[in-house]
Each structure stands twice: as structure tokens, then as C-alpha cells.
Copies of this chain bind each other. A is one copy, B any other.
Amino acid sequence: MTTTDAPVRLLLADDHPVVRAGLRAVLETEPDFTIAADVPTAEAAVDLAGRLEVDVVLMDLQFGGRMLGVQATAEITARPGAPRVLVLTTYDSDADILAAIEAGATGYLLKDAPPEELAAAVRTAAAGKSALAPTIALRLMDRMRTPATALSRRETEVLQLVADGLSNAKISKQLFLSQATVKSHLVHIYAKLGVDSRTSAVAAATARGLIRR
């Protein structure tokens, strides 16, 4: 589709004008990069990613407080001949990283990355290879190595509702479970996180980026 030596065509998607300007400034200095467009919404990113011929989309995860980046990533990568999507966000939460990768992201970077790292990641992504920030890579390794810290899908789901302030009764109704099951999940969650109460579980999980907040 695109030869490796041709300029890399970029689409920037971030709701912060300052960040878009910053990315432009940082990436425009690279002679082999061309910035096709920058957009402030996830919808515009999905739209332009299809209509413009771009190689890499730099995608933020949060748009105006909402987490629309993941859906946008999924929609973009679902199409045939889709560009690579490089997720660029402020937070390094396990949940976000996994979600982004599952949605088809080629890489995951943090916004505090130095310009060189950013440019390198874009080139890596353009070449179709996976680009993970060192911090992220470490976290994933950690997660693999100690599966104890990794909560199961269902457990994460329950814990998220706990973090939202729901009681066991409410959670059981919301998930169509018995309270016994909710309690059971919580026992396992506490064991994995090394805590003994719902509030400390939420605190620990938030600190480790296991749940959203």
C-alpha cells in the first residue's frame, strides 16, 4: 500500500488544541512526516481516517472527558486497508492499555514521551510493528509475570461498580447475580490485591491502573 521510504502521512486526533499544536510542532520537524490533518473529536478521526489516505493515526483516548478513543480505534482498524493507530494518552492504566490493544491499536504511548521517542514510535507503527512506551512495556511484563495482580474480566467489572459506589445488592442486580456471587468475586479481588475492604481495593486498583476513574 505504502512504500516504506515514502513520507509517513499522519492524522492527529486530540481534543486539546495545545496538544495538537504541540504534536504538529514536534512531528513537523521530521522531514519524512507529513501531517494530513488534525481533529478535535473522535468522530472526525474516524471520518478522516477513511477519507484521507493516512498511514498512522495518533489517537488520544479521552475526548472531552469521555473515553471515545477506544471505539474510534476499533472502527478505524476494522476497515480493510486501515491505517495504523497509535494511542497517545496521559494515563497508563492497565484497563486502558488492554482495551486499546484489543481495539486494534498498533502502539501505546504516554504524552510525557520525549519527541524522539514519539517520532521513533510513529516510524515503528508506520512499518506495521508494535510500538509500546517503555513504561507500558514494563507494566505489561509485570502483568504477565505476576498474574496474581491481574483481575479477571468479571472481577474487574465488579470492582468497577464498587468504585462507582454501588452496594453489593445494587451490583448483584446490575449484573444479574446473587449477592453471594458478588461477595465471592470480592473475596478473590481482595486476595489478589492484598487488601481487605472495598475502599482499599478501589484505592489499590486505581493506583495500579486496573480500573478507570
Docked-complex contact A111 and B165, CB < 8 angstroms: no
Give the contact-size bracket for chain A.
Answer: 35 or more
CA distance A23 to B22 in the complex (A): 7
Q: What's the nearest-Cβ distance from chain B to residue A163, in Å?
A: 7
Chain B residues whose C-beta falls within 8 Å of the C-beta of A206 in the assembled complex: 213
CA distance A113 to B162 in the complex (A): 33
Chain B residues whose C-beta falls within 8 Å of the C-beta of A115 in the assembled complex: 17-18, 21
Q: Mark A190-204, 1 if CB is under 8 A from B, else 0.
A: 000001011111111
Chain B residues whose C-beta falls within 8 Å of the C-beta of A22 in the assembled complex: 16-23, 25
Q: Mark A12-48, 1 if CB is under 8 A from B, else 0.
A: 0001111111111110000000000000000000000
Q: State which of B20, B25, B118, B165 has its C-beta within 8 Å of the C-beta of A200.
A: B165
CA distance A77 to B5 in the complex (A): 52
Q: What's the nearest-Cβ distance from chain B to residue A83, in Å?
A: 20
User: Chain A interface secondary structure, helix, strand, loop or mixed?
Assistant: helix
Q: What's the nearest-Cβ distance from chain B to residue A109, in Å?
A: 10
Docked-complex contact B26 and A21, CB < 8 angstroms: yes
Q: State which of B23, B118, B198 has its C-beta within 8 Å of the C-beta of A199.
A: B198
Docked-complex contact B112 and A200, CB < 8 angstroms: no
Q: Does A148 contact B (CB under 8 A)?
A: no
A→B interface (CB under 8 Å): 15-26, 64, 90, 111-115, 118, 162-167, 195, 197-204, 206, 213
Besides A17-B26, A22-B22, 14 other A-B contacts (C-beta < 8 A): A16-B22, A17-B113, A18-B26, A19-B19, A21-B21, A21-B22, A21-B25, A21-B26, A22-B25, A165-B195, A165-B197, A165-B201, A199-B199, A206-B213
